[in-house]
Amino acid sequence: MPLRDHPLPQASAPLAISKGIARALHALVLTLALLPPGALAQAPADADPATAPLSATPPVAPAAMLALRYDDTVDPVGYWVSEKLDGVRALWDGQRLRFRSGREMVAPAWFVAALPAHALDGELWLGRRRFDELSGLIRREDPQDPGWRAVRYMLFDMPGAGDFSARLQALRERVASAGVPWLQMVPQQRVPDRAALKRLLDDTIAAGGEGLMLHRADAHWQPGRSAALLKLTPWLDAEARVVGYVPGKGRLQGKVGALRVEAADGRRFRIGSGLSDAIRANPPALGALVTYRYRELTPAGMPRFPRYLRERTLP
């Protein structure tokens, strides 16, 4: 059955009843054709809805420092510089390892046993270009999975008193005291000028890295976004929600040619670049949140050359 390009219908658009029914039917056919396997699984016939468990209280997101984008007006001399790791942000509160959303991670007991009672901030990491492998491991929520033996908790900050240079020294002491290979520090260095920063970025990208992070050396820890923490990458990235599909043509006949997505501010556009054949055959479901990269915004405010990166599947 041929697939039609149908975004989600706009509730405010006046439509005749017949046209509304036709659009709804087309959207339904498209959705059913591209739903991931098992998405329509039904509850057992004898299930008692009255006994269904109530939704758990949403976790509270822990306080965390978040990055602004670096621009060339910033002098990097006053910053510590490190590689931007392609990992999963993990915040340790002294007892539990949590996602940025606040949800607790399922990690092996031996992995967290070596962590100190003090709060830590870092990323779980397997290595460059291994995010999908790491994401799959974490989503399985199996603390017995042998894959955890290759995971490292790469630390880049320790919430508390003192400027960043002082916190780095405290981190070094914590890591040395723990004495386990899976607890490490993200290497930090200083650069003398913008030209040196650019060379470091180029070398990092050439080696398979994502970019650089800059922590202002004299900045005290503070939650939220500020100039105390900056991100430098050769591209921009953002998230958007899937609202429809564009059918493929030629070799992609019967598969998705592009995703129709909507940004948080309501802008709608297509993402076709970066989709593998496997993703085109089994795309993110309607409503899924996806991450994409782009070079810049057009004068109309649309991302130029958006490229699919991944579906956001972790909290």
**Active-site residues: which are they?**
84
Residue 135 gets which letter from DSSP?
H
φ, ψ at 295 (rounded to 5°): -80, -45
Which one-letter amino acid corresponds to residue 54? L
Q: In terms of DSSP bridges, do strands 224-232 and 212-216 run parallel, antiparallel, or are they unpaired?
A: antiparallel
CA atoms of 37 and 40, how far apart (whole Å):
8
The set of residues, in sequence order, having a beta carbon less than 8 Å from that of 304 and lying 6+ positions away, is 294, 295, 296, 297, 298
Closest to 120 (Cα-Cα) out of 158, 147, 150, 85: 158
CA distance 173 to 161: 15
Query: Amino acid identity of 199?
Result: R
Q: What is the 3-state secondary structure (H, E, C) of 139-160?
A: HHCCCCCHHHHHCEEEEEECCC
Q: Which residue has the tokens 């508390």?
A: 160
Q: How many CB atoms lie within 10 A of CB 57?
A: 6
